[in-house]
Amino acid sequence: LQLQEIWSKRPIVTAFTRLDERVAAIQSAVSFRIEDLIPRLSRLKRSVTWLSNRANLELDPARIPLGDLLPEYLIELYPESISADAQRQHLFSATYYRYVVTYYRGDLDGTCMALRALAQARSIDVDSCIGWDCLPLQGSQEWIPAVITDEIRGLDWRYVASEAGTPATYVIHDEFWPLLTKATEADIEIALEQTHASDQNDAVEKTRQTLTALIELAHTWYRSPSVVGLCYQCAD
């Protein structure tokens, strides 16, 4: 909701002021410091692009929301960027990272394997907590404000409405959390033994780190009634 507000409702100076105050969970090269923005705005106001539009208040970058900045304005503000679309994506990602509370990024195949191995080690019906893709089952959709999430996704040029899963937005099912929160060290060891040969030290350690990270995340969030995953799935 904060992401949608910043992008769709707040003019660029106000947006940068709010974003600069937040600590980013994931670092990015984009700076939201007003001291860095002002010289860029000054250069924009001296440009042909600005001079040709300054009579139209609706195109004033000081008045329009961050998400509505014209491509021409973005190029003037960030001449070092390869394109307006690329810069818009950098801004969106940097903004998004400031609202990430808990962040897990692991190899998809390795994560899926670790979750399935832990379920088998604990004699848990995999289908009760993990989907066919070995990722957490989706819970109730009542917590998702569909209009808002569509607006947020629409700010990202990677989002293609006709392609499912780009990005995926859902509430994680309640039955998923006990798989991790009730896991013991013995369960982890059994999962590792079932998954790897004894001489695969590097693979064993990597899976152990994956399970440890997932269990830590689960203990952080399992009491929340509405953990929402807003996941941007892209090739990089």
- Helix-helix angle 108-121:201-221, to 10 degrees: 80
Task: Tell which wins on pLDDT, 27 or 44.
Answer: 44
User: Is the model's pLDDT at 236 over the cut of 50?
Assistant: no
Encoded tokens for 31: 């700076």
Average pLDDT value for the chain: 82
- Helix-helix angle 12-20:84-97, to 10 degrees: 40
Task: Tell which wins on pLDDT, 122 or 155.
Answer: 122
pLDDT at residue 232, as a whole number: 46
User: Is the model's pLDDT at 199 over the cut of 80?
Assistant: no
Q: Where are the beta strands (DSSP E) in 12-149?
A: none
Encoded tokens for 22: 């937040």
pLDDT at residue 75, as a whole number: 93
* Residues 6+ positions from 98 with CB-CB distance below 8 Å: 19, 22, 23, 24, 25
pLDDT at residue 233, as a whole number: 45
Given a contact cutoff of 8 angstroms between Cβ atoms, the answer to whether 116 and 126 are in contact is yes
Encoded tokens for 5: 């507000």
Residue 39's alpha-carbon distances to 14, 76, 89, 95, in angstroms, are: 16, 11, 21, 20
Task: Tell which wins on pLDDT, 96 or 38.
Answer: 38
pLDDT at residue 224, as a whole number: 66
pLDDT at residue 229, as a whole number: 56
Weakest mean pLDDT among 42-51, 206-215, 217-226:
217-226
pLDDT at residue 74, as a whole number: 92
Weakest mean pLDDT among 40-54, 132-146, 156-170:
156-170
Q: Where are the beta strands (DSSP E) in 6-154?
A: none
User: Is the model's pLDDT at 173 over the cut of 60?
Assistant: yes
